[in-house]
Amino acid sequence: MTDRTEGANTRSRQSREAGWRGQRGDRGTATERTRAAMDARRVMLDDGGDTTVGRGTTAAQSRLARCRPALLVSVRNADEAQAAVDGGADVVDVKEPRRGSLGMADAPVIRAVHDRLRRSAPKCDKRGTGPGPLLSIALGELGEWLGGEGDRRREMLSALKRCDVAYAKLGLSGCGRRPDWLDAWVAVRRSLSERALPGARWVAVAYADEHRAASPPIEQVVEAAAATGCAGLLVDTFDKRSGRLWDALPAPRLQNAIAAARGRGLFVALAGRLRADDVPAAVAAGADVVAVRSAACAGDDRLQTVRRHRVAALVDVLARATGKPGTP
């Protein structure tokens, strides 16, 4: 290993360790367990091994950077995807809201959304809005991918191989009770990247209502995301009855987590029952991506249908909050 590489590794390790010392608070036991696992990975990395997974292509990353703050709209079918495209969304995220915060849609739905976005790309180019939205997918919770491999999972893997997925997300609910969550998370991500998502970038998910989700605290998720090659961090609510993001996580913790994530090179997406009037606050908090579903649906109801005019209105609100041009 060259002196330059050794120096870079040392600086990276010192930076991450300094972040942990500043974030520990009263979470010593859980944090120490996770930190020990991180240290083991750093030793492997310093010895020349690659502990990151799902680095994928930088094309999606550069496209996202050009439109920050970006608008992500979660959709449940191809028609909703079309409404999101026509309204001006930068990222179209596929999920099934009836199955939870990161509910995984069925394989045919993911394929249909992918195909609709592909067909819409030439129209986006023609009207001068670029090659069309990036595709993001919600893959449910980590626990859903542990254990035996059933027909639904095999069908999903087959579908994903045929899709150009830019970003993938895997929730960590229940993992706060698992001392081995980090190893399991990395193993599942690695398997998915190798088998079906070679070009996708991973986005770590921290649940603001961590007690309801029984998930690792946001500080641990930030460190784990940075150490294992994630592209970004999504802060969301697990139980939509918890209210909006601001109701579930104290502002100082959220701000510290955003600063820590961005300091480690992660983009930050904010979600959690955000309404149109929450967009300026999300931008002010440092969001690189504002992620919505409820606000894009009729009646602010996430179980209703995404509407084009509501997406367009969100694009305009985001433009006013950032001083950028609005809907073309």
Write out the catalytic residue numbers: 95, 169
Positive or negative, the CA dihedral 153, 154, 160, 166 is positive
CA separation for the pair 140, 158 (Å, rounded): 17
CB 255 within 8 A of CB 227: no
Beta carbons within 10 angstroms of residue 10's beta carbon: 11
Closest CA to 93 of 110, 122, 107, 73: 73
Angle (deg, nearest 10), helices 308-322 and 78-87: 40
Residues in the chain: 328
Angle (deg, nearest 10), helices 78-87 and 107-126: 30
**Phi, psi angles (nearest 5°) of residue 316:** -65, -40
Are β-strands 134-141 and 201-207 bridged in parallel, bridged antiparallel, or unpaired? unpaired
- State yes or no: cis peptide before 325, omega within 30 of 0: no
Burial class of residue 5, CB neighbours in 10 A (0-12, 13-18, 19+) = exposed
Measured in whole angstroms, the distance separating CA 207 from the mean position of its chain's CA atoms is: 11
Closest CA to 23 of 218, 208, 225, 173: 218
Beta bridge partners, 202, equal 168
DSSP per-residue string spanning 297-311: BGGG-TTS-B-HHHH
Burial class of residue 96, CB neighbours in 10 A (0-12, 13-18, 19+) = middle
